[in-house]
Structure 1
């Protein structure tokens, strides 16, 4: 044992006689101006990318509501675990079909990010988020629907929907374009190009793409919008009152449709399941590269960046999928690619 260790032992013994333990000494060594959790979030939020901050913000706001006035050094693993539990409870309350796992997983990531930045900045000596564990992901029940199930879904929508004209068109839109729900909610009437028979999609992470669609789908979209618009809306999908639909509309109409589908407990139908179905069908018709471009996925490998499909090839796949000629599917290479897939 060296001299430094001996001096440390002597100091600890003296502190013990004064009724002071190691935790007290560490707390006394912390800066007196430690920020609160709310203050720290405000300080570092802008250091994250906009998309990351957008994803984490609901969970940071929840942490602020529960622990916002607490100083960072006062937070315990139990405090943060309670925030994660609250995130899961909130998800289950807002969406009865949700297990809450996804919300809990994202909440853990959001809290780890906050504490990680605090450690790096010297605001924390011990990471209270280090022991948080992400919930184990359940095996997904999502799969592509077959033709019979798609027909049953359409019948269920006709039977249960309060606006079947709109909801049936939403189902068709996702089955033909493979759009995410976010993409449908953001599309406006000006995003339809009847000459090229495409729709401009704006989806997650700011990604945008021109997606081929059948001419009859674009005509139906335009017809529904023109019949309902008040002239001031900037969204394509609007209800009978002329109000743009929200994510809540999706939740309600799918919940009603699921109530009469006998196979729903095995495969809960949603906009994502319809997107899954569309991508699967395009992959079967035209192969992986075309399906990847159709889905708007980023290639997972460097090689994948060199094998992306052209707009003509995607259009040819859409023509084969819908049984309608497409104005962009004019090249023989595109038709061969689709036939070969």
Structure 2
């Protein structure tokens, strides 16, 4: 073959590759024999590489992927088949009392599968072109219908919970705990005796992503938590604090049964699917209305980047733990040792350097 002819063929091939948006490395990879693992085989590596938090979040969804596609190879599913899997999950999602048409299950499965393919690309098991996820529309999260409860409705919920259950002290304690701290369910289930600081009236909350934060509580609540731990056998400082009467640690199921029971007497619970998370909305709404967004963000344990401000200002107006304690003090009507006892006013500027210099 003439040199000129070979060069012309190479040039034509390069132009064709450019037109098809194909890189030389992809041609070489395609020419090499591939032994793409199945989902069941590869999922072991995904689980082993995932953090404990991700394992907890995605375990059930990775299980479902293996259940549906375990024997298939990673490069086999098409974008259309991914969409069909998402709809299958939606149709078979567990219908809890607070479900929203399976939207949460669909979103979680989407992100669980997204992590599988990203890990496969990072490990060079697949090329980016073999990833079907970019062609799959991202599911929309269901719009939250939660909002702050009125004081009257909250009081009715507490009276009903305490008056209709077999363990009124536990019901009253967890409702008070969530209202004061605006903690998520995990914050209560993960609470340990060692997380209580009776002197400074603080509890350490461990919630999403194992993030820890200090949260002020009233002296009344702190005393109740200490008594509960002592009475129900939570003497191991590293063991769960909230417990049933027989000493077993509290479970998520206990929360669900509480709201199902109270919902039989309070119609609004069933009509609006009210759950414990609504108390978080209630407290944070009250804090925001009375102390501003910065304090509400700190009270919630959110980072400044999640605040309502979008810009550099958020870095300059973060709220302190003392300001959170001040908000709690106003909420409960009980003095807190960390609450701020000062305020900026004209009196704070009476002795001003400029005034002194002018004398």
Report the TM range for the smaller structure's normalisation: 0.7 to 0.9
For structure 1, the 5+ residue unaligned runs are 8-27, 337-341
Cα gap change, 1:326/1:311 in structure 2, threshold over 3 Å: closer, same or farther?
same
Does 168-177 or 278-287 show the bigger shift? Answer: 278-287
Cα gap change, 1:235/1:53 in structure 2, threshold over 3 Å: closer, same or farther?
closer
For structure 2, the 5+ residue unaligned runs are 1-7, 14-29, 306-310, 347-359
Cα gap change, 1:110/1:164 in structure 2, threshold over 3 Å: closer, same or farther?
same
The whole-number CA distance in structure 2 between the counterparts of 1:139 and 1:58 is 23
Is the 1:38–1:69 contact (alpha carbons within 8 Å) kept by the matching residues of 2? Answer: yes
Q: TM-score, normalised by structure 2?
A: 0.78
Bigger Rg over Cα: 2
| Structure 2 residue 315 is the aligned partner of structure 1 residue 305 | yes
Compute the displacement of 1:136 (Å).
3.3
Q: What does 1:187-266 correspond to in 2, within 5 Å?
A: 187-229=191-233, 231-232=235-236, 234-266=239-271
**Could you say which residue in structure 2 is the equivalent of 1:20?**
none
Q: What does 1:19-38 correspond to in 2, within 5 Å?
A: 31-38=33-40
Is the 2:107–2:139 contact (alpha carbons within 8 Å) kept by the matching residues of 1? Answer: yes
Q: TM-score, normalised by structure 1?
A: 0.82
Residue 153 of structure 1, aligned match among 132, 157, 160: 157
The whole-number CA distance in structure 1 between the counterparts of 2:232 and 2:49 is 43
Residue 284 of structure 1, aligned match among 289, 305, 329: 289
Count of residues in correspondence between the two structures: 317
DSSP 3-state at the match of 1:123: coil
Compute the displacement of 1:131 (Å).
4.2
Is the 2:234–2:240 contact (alpha carbons within 8 Å) kept by the matching residues of 1? Answer: no
Q: Deviations over 1:70-121 (max 9, x none)?
A: 212232445434543454355424x243122112112112212323443562
**Could you say which residue in structure 2 is the equivalent of 1:123?**
126
RMSD of equivalent CA atoms = 3.1
**Could you say which residue in structure 2 is the equivalent of 1:328?**
338
**Could you say which residue in structure 2 is the equivalent of 1:177?**
181
Is the 1:329–1:335 contact (alpha carbons within 8 Å) kept by the matching residues of 2? Answer: no
Does 71-80 or 169-178 show the bigger shift? Answer: 71-80
DSSP 3-state at the match of 2:214: strand
